[in-house]
Chain A
Amino acid sequence: MRGVSFALEQGETLAIVGESGCGKSASALSLTRLLPPTARVSGSIRFLGEDVLGMTDQELREIRGRQIAMVFQDPMSSLNPVRTIGVQMEEMLRVHLNMSRRQARARSVELLASVGIPSPARQMTVYPHQLSGGMRQRVMIAMALSCEPKVVVADEPTTALDVSIQAQILELLRRITEVSKTSLLMVSHDLSVVAGLADRIAVMYAGEIVESGPTTRVFDHPRHPYTLGLLACIPRLDGPRTETLRSIEGGLPDPLARKSGCPFAPRCAFVMERCLVDPPALEEKALAQVAACWADLSEVTVAEVAAPVAVSPSAASRANGHVLLSVADLKVHFPIGTAIPFRPRPVLRAVDGVSVDVPRGGTLGIVGESGCGKTTTGRAVLRLVEPTSGQIRFDGHDVAHIGPDELKALRPRMQMVFQDPYSSLNPRLTVADAIGEPLVVHHASQRGALRPRILELLEMVGLPARLASRFPHQLSGGQRQRVGIARALALRPSLIVADEPTSALDVSVRAQILNLMRRLQDEHHLTYVFISHDLSIVRHMSTKVAVMYLGKIVEIADRDTLYSNPQHPYTQALLAVVPVPDPQIERGRRRAPIRGDVPNPANPPRGCRFNTRCPHAFDRCFQEEPELADLGRGHRAACFLAKPEVAKDQLQ
């Protein structure tokens, strides 16, 4: 990180946005000098006029927690696991504010209540692991607020949380900054998340701030090509759907390599000769908006850049009526706890009766929050986990019941792309070995033909041939994911199950991978099962979408029907909480529509599984479970209140 300057005023919210390794967390940590001792920090950091860098440790401790409080990404590792919430909260108050035990206790309960924790007095006696992720993050926020700090630094506070919980935490942060006039410094990789919260935004790239300004101005008229690219490459729920996403080509620069000129030049669409030699400085481009770029972007708009380049034949038009994969009443139960003789063993119903058809050439999107069973469904389809009951028919084969030899023979036709490109590649195998393995296992290539086929696959996924001899740790996240895709393609499958293939990737790389998957689908007539928690990405990729909640499909329809006319309250709520990169829309939202947490899947509620969180729940929902009822035109929803599609047509 070098030459970073920013100012935070009383009661203001500043968001620092950037991709991994851009130095955004380091900027935040340096405020209270929490960086590791190997970091060399120069420049000045002034807090209320005092120089933080010149402070003694004693003075620093006084500021940390008391004046500047931190909220981290992972609340589990920031809370002490062996002490109760109450003890940890009281300790803060007693150390910093010299409160008595009684006072501290009363104040802690008050604080927990203020961050929306139900029955706060009771929660004081629980240990961190007994709380859900969202609740833990609330506790962290309550602790950060306990000493009424002037500044709260929140480092990716919602990244580890589900969308519905993320909306609740964002709303909480917004309320706090409004009520207590606390300044908030928020660090995030996601522009949409900060859109509704931040007054000003600073975009960082490769250790430098490349653009900063008032939120609305930065979103409406970005003046740096990187900001422009970031905004253009996010598939949006509120805009028209495009076939191809704009992507920022290339990858993040190596932070250890020194380069001359603008660090963004190799990926920039507006690059000029000057950019390669002369690093641009921040200059005022519009009122209060600065950007470090030689080009003049005042005439360029995000919508123009995001517009589709070329319209390829859409997958939907080719998706003929033939069903490639048909799943009927699939159940996957995992035994939990200890077996007691003569008693049924308790089971976790990870997938509890899923039925779905996937047409050849189409893409089925499965959306849901963590613990809804979407990953298990995907794995059961490929029989990577054993289904407990149900039928899986893949092109005429009964996948659920065939023997190991038949299964092995079927493997080449159905493949998987994994979420985490770091753990899905064996660290001891080179890229060529990893891609070549399926070919070797199935004797699909002659000895001499193996190498050319590997090179062909590398080219297919847009990787240079020289990477063939590299080991996974020498590749970037995006490159690794391309290797994962090449491995899945090696045997020319007809079905690919992609389990969150982009959620571990940086925003600018995400669009590249999505475009690649779309292109490959067109070129190789692939059928996808695309699993994701991100509704906007699913909309971009899918022809048909299933929404899952606690092991069941609650709503399923073709893409446009589902997004334009969601019938299940859970789908409606999910659509309402997806952050949109538009400050106007985000500010207009006031209440997070789903309260509470996802119930424990081992012990789902009686009746409708969504009844604990549903705003419309009535008596019947607590007694019987709604069937996945047909609403017409292939639209099905498991809700008593769902209205048939046909009726709507007649109205029109």
Chain B
Amino acid sequence: MSTVATPAPRAAPLGDVARFAAALTSGDRVGAAAVLFIAFVVLVAVLAPVISPYDPVHTTSDTLAAPSLQHPFGTDQFGRDMLSRVIWGARIILLAPVVGISISTVIGVPLGLLAGYSTRWISAAIMRAMDVMLAFPGLLLVLIVVTIIGAGLVNVMIAIGISFVPVFARVVYGSTLAAKGQDYVLAAKAVGCSPLRIIAVHILPNVTTQIIVIASSAIGWAILTATTLNFLGFGVKLPTPDWGADLSAGKDWLSLAWWIATFPGLAITAMILASNYLGDQVASVFDPQSHWRDNATRVGMEEVS
């Protein structure tokens, strides 16, 4: 038995994509299904021009047709094929949250690093500002931002990005504080590294795990927010195919043509469920707790062997 604490094995280097993918699709079966579903949606979005049977914005005289072999998801009040609209809608549903979360990462991570590494005053100023933003319910914050900067897909992305900044800043702040207390940071200082180098070389690589976990668990919420905004008409404008906007348009025809709202609605539900599970799955791959579990079993085995 060790007299010195056994170090937790570090997460695999991030470049190791294949091993990461293998870890993501192993273990929990629901989580693995969620990862595969998201991969499927990504594929559909990329191949939309190839696989969609019709032009999603082309109106025809065949309006409000029920699902059939010719139109598996039916057509809407302008005779547009719903299957094609759902396929093309996948692009928006992926684009908005991914860009939004990227914006929050780019702003939130440096803020967190700065707050974690700098003096008390700068750190207090940044973190109190983040607390004020966190005090607003997320959706309200997004609506405020959209109201200020106006509607439109780009603005929805910016709004989502801003609303997630405090979450990233908080998490990175905490991890930075922890990393800053490590001897290797002191060692870097003793060697004569500049603060910028210490942050970039010694702290940032040691907090990337937490950033990835946060980003992947925020995706689900971002998808929900983006769809909500599109549903409310703040985001994309019809006839651009989008699940939220189609759901909104279809709700007026629910008694006559249930399929217009139902298929985009199902797609949204599945997507959000899957992305929430994706967040959990990524978190469990990186979670020190799960490593601790592996490590404990391994140490146990060492001792009897």
Which residues of A pack against B, CB within 8 Å? 1-2, 20-21, 23-26, 35-36, 38-41, 73, 155-156, 159, 187, 189, 207, 255-256, 379, 382, 384, 407-408, 411-412, 415-416, 418-420, 422-429, 437-438, 441-442, 471, 473, 477, 484, 487, 491, 504, 506
In contact, B190 and A26 (Cβ under 8 angstroms)? no
Contact of B190 among A24, A35, A415, A425 (CB under 8 A): A415
Question: Nearest Cβ distance between residue B223 and chain A, in whole angstroms?
Answer: 31
B190's nearest neighbour on chain A, judged by CB, is A416
In contact, A473 and B192 (Cβ under 8 angstroms)? no
In contact, B4 and A20 (Cβ under 8 angstroms)? yes
Given contacts A384-B186, A384-B189, A438-B192, whether A255 and B302 have CB atoms under 8 Å apart is: yes
In contact, B183 and A39 (Cβ under 8 angstroms)? no
B68 within 8 A of A: no
B33 within 8 A of A: no
In contact, B183 and A424 (Cβ under 8 angstroms)? yes
What B residues does A411 contact at CB under 8 A?
Answer: 190-192
In contact, A26 and B4 (Cβ under 8 angstroms)? no
In contact, B1 and A427 (Cβ under 8 angstroms)? no
* Interface-central residue, B2, B5, B197, B296, by most chain A CB under 10 Å: B2
B202 within 8 A of A: yes
Per the bound structure, the CA–CA distance linking A38 and B184 in Å amounts to 34
Question: Nearest Cβ distance between residue A495 and chain B, in whole angstroms?
Answer: 11
8 shortest interchain CB distances as A-B pairs: A25-B1, A411-B192, A26-B303, A424-B183, A20-B2, A428-B205, A36-B300, A38-B300
Contact of A21 among B1, B7, B194 (CB under 8 A): B1
For the A-B complex with A21-B302, A35-B300, A416-B190 known, give 5 more contacts whose Cβ atoms are closer than 8 Å. Answer: A384-B190, A424-B182, A425-B187, A437-B188, A506-B3
B14's nearest neighbour on chain A, judged by CB, is A428
Question: Nearest Cβ distance between residue A342 and chain B, in whole angstroms?
Answer: 20
Per the bound structure, the CA–CA distance linking A382 and B300 in Å amounts to 42
Contact of A39 among B7, B191, B205, B303 (CB under 8 A): B303
In contact, A39 and B304 (Cβ under 8 angstroms)? yes
Question: Nearest Cβ distance between residue A131 and chain B, in whole angstroms?
Answer: 22
Per the bound structure, the CA–CA distance linking A26 and B299 in Å amounts to 10
A159's nearest neighbour on chain B, judged by CB, is B3
B1's nearest neighbour on chain A, judged by CB, is A25
In contact, A36 and B305 (Cβ under 8 angstroms)? no
In contact, B4 and A477 (Cβ under 8 angstroms)? yes
Given contacts A384-B190, A415-B190, A438-B191, whether A422 and B303 have CB atoms under 8 Å apart is: no
What A residues does B191 contact at CB under 8 A?
Answer: 411, 415, 437-438, 441, 487, 491
B201 within 8 A of A: yes
In contact, A255 and B4 (Cβ under 8 angstroms)? no
In contact, B300 and A426 (Cβ under 8 angstroms)? no
In contact, A20 and B3 (Cβ under 8 angstroms)? yes
What A residues does B194 contact at CB under 8 A?
Answer: 441
Given contacts A40-B304, A382-B190, A441-B191, whether A473 and B7 have CB atoms under 8 Å apart is: yes
In contact, B201 and A429 (Cβ under 8 angstroms)? yes
Per the bound structure, the CA–CA distance linking A155 and B3 in Å amounts to 10
Per the bound structure, the CA–CA distance linking A256 and B299 in Å amounts to 10
* Interface-central residue, B194, B301, B305, by most chain A CB under 10 Å: B305
Majority secondary structure of chain A interface residues (helix, strand, loop or mixed): loop
In contact, B4 and A504 (Cβ under 8 angstroms)? yes
Per the bound structure, the CA–CA distance linking A1 and B300 in Å amounts to 10
What B residues does A418 contact at CB under 8 A?
Answer: 183, 186-187
What A residues does B29 contact at CB under 8 A?
Answer: none
Per the bound structure, the CA–CA distance linking A40 and B305 in Å amounts to 9
A404's nearest neighbour on chain B, judged by CB, is B194
In contact, B187 and A416 (Cβ under 8 angstroms)? yes
B203's nearest neighbour on chain A, judged by CB, is A426
What B residues does A428 contact at CB under 8 A?
Answer: 10, 205-206
In contact, B4 and A38 (Cβ under 8 angstroms)? no
In contact, B205 and A26 (Cβ under 8 angstroms)? no
B187's nearest neighbour on chain A, judged by CB, is A424
In contact, B10 and A427 (Cβ under 8 angstroms)? yes
Interface size class of chain B, counting residues whose CB lies under 8 Å from the partner chain = 20 to 34
Number of A-B contacts (CB under 8 A): 118
Per the bound structure, the CA–CA distance linking A209 and B142 in Å amounts to 67
Chain A to chain B contacts (Cβ below 8 Å), 28 pairs: A20-B3, A21-B2, A23-B1, A24-B1, A25-B303, A36-B296, A39-B304, A156-B3, A187-B1, A256-B305, A384-B189, A415-B190, A416-B187, A424-B182, A426-B184, A426-B188, A426-B201, A428-B205, A437-B191, A437-B193, A437-B201, A438-B192, A441-B194, A471-B10, A473-B9, A473-B10, A487-B187, A491-B191
In contact, A39 and B300 (Cβ under 8 angstroms)? yes
In contact, A442 and B205 (Cβ under 8 angstroms)? no
B301's nearest neighbour on chain A, judged by CB, is A38
In contact, A255 and B186 (Cβ under 8 angstroms)? no
In contact, B186 and A422 (Cβ under 8 angstroms)? no
What A residues does B10 contact at CB under 8 A?
Answer: 427-428, 471, 473
Question: Nearest Cβ distance between residue A259 and chain B, in whole angstroms?
Answer: 12
What A residues does B186 contact at CB under 8 A?
Answer: 379, 384, 416, 418, 424
Question: Nearest Cβ distance between residue A203 and chain B, in whole angstroms?
Answer: 15
Question: Nearest Cβ distance between residue B138 and chain A, in whole angstroms?
Answer: 32
Which residues of B pack against A, CB within 8 Å? 1-5, 7, 9-10, 182-184, 186-194, 197, 201-202, 205-206, 296-297, 300-305
Given contacts A26-B1, A424-B183, whether A41 and B304 have CB atoms under 8 Å apart is: yes
Per the bound structure, the CA–CA distance linking A24 and B1 in Å amounts to 6
What A residues does B305 contact at CB under 8 A?
Answer: 1-2, 207, 255-256
* Interface-central residue, B201, B206, B296, by most chain A CB under 10 Å: B201
What A residues does B190 contact at CB under 8 A?
Answer: 382, 384, 411, 415-416
Question: Nearest Cβ distance between residue B185 and chain A, in whole angstroms?
Answer: 8
Question: Nearest Cβ distance between residue A51 and chain B, in whole angstroms?
Answer: 18
Per the bound structure, the CA–CA distance linking A411 and B197 in Å amounts to 16
Per the bound structure, the CA–CA distance linking A442 and B7 in Å amounts to 31
In contact, A426 and B202 (Cβ under 8 angstroms)? yes
In contact, A39 and B301 (Cβ under 8 angstroms)? yes
Contact of A423 among B2, B183, B302 (CB under 8 A): B183
What B residues does A23 contact at CB under 8 A?
Answer: 1, 303
Question: Nearest Cβ distance between residue A412 and chain B, in whole angstroms?
Answer: 7
In contact, B184 and A424 (Cβ under 8 angstroms)? yes
Per the bound structure, the CA–CA distance linking A143 and B14 in Å amounts to 48
What B residues does A422 contact at CB under 8 A?
Answer: 4-5, 7
Per the bound structure, the CA–CA distance linking A189 and B305 in Å amounts to 20
Given contacts A416-B190, A473-B9, whether A423 and B184 have CB atoms under 8 Å apart is: yes
B192's nearest neighbour on chain A, judged by CB, is A411
In contact, B184 and A441 (Cβ under 8 angstroms)? no
A477's nearest neighbour on chain B, judged by CB, is B4
In contact, B184 and A425 (Cβ under 8 angstroms)? yes
Per the bound structure, the CA–CA distance linking A38 and B10 in Å amounts to 22
What B residues does A427 contact at CB under 8 A?
Answer: 10, 206
Question: Nearest Cβ distance between residue B205 and chain A, in whole angstroms?
Answer: 4
What B residues does A473 contact at CB under 8 A?
Answer: 7, 9-10
What A residues does B300 contact at CB under 8 A?
Answer: 35-36, 38-39
Question: Nearest Cβ distance between residue B53 and chain A, in whole angstroms?
Answer: 49
Per the bound structure, the CA–CA distance linking A591 and B197 in Å amounts to 54
What A residues does B188 contact at CB under 8 A?
Answer: 426, 437
What B residues does A437 contact at CB under 8 A?
Answer: 188, 191, 193, 201
In contact, A441 and B192 (Cβ under 8 angstroms)? yes
Per the bound structure, the CA–CA distance linking A471 and B10 in Å amounts to 10
Question: Nearest Cβ distance between residue B189 and chain A, in whole angstroms?
Answer: 6
A490's nearest neighbour on chain B, judged by CB, is B191
What B residues does A407 contact at CB under 8 A?
Answer: 192
Per the bound structure, the CA–CA distance linking A484 and B188 in Å amounts to 11
Per the bound structure, the CA–CA distance linking A392 and B205 in Å amounts to 35
What B residues does A416 contact at CB under 8 A?
Answer: 186-187, 190
A23's nearest neighbour on chain B, judged by CB, is B303
What A residues does B2 contact at CB under 8 A?
Answer: 20-21
In contact, A441 and B197 (Cβ under 8 angstroms)? yes
Per the bound structure, the CA–CA distance linking A438 and B205 in Å amounts to 18
Per the bound structure, the CA–CA distance linking A419 and B183 in Å amounts to 9
Per the bound structure, the CA–CA distance linking A23 and B205 in Å amounts to 35
Question: Nearest Cβ distance between residue B165 and chain A, in whole angstroms?
Answer: 25
What B residues does A24 contact at CB under 8 A?
Answer: 1
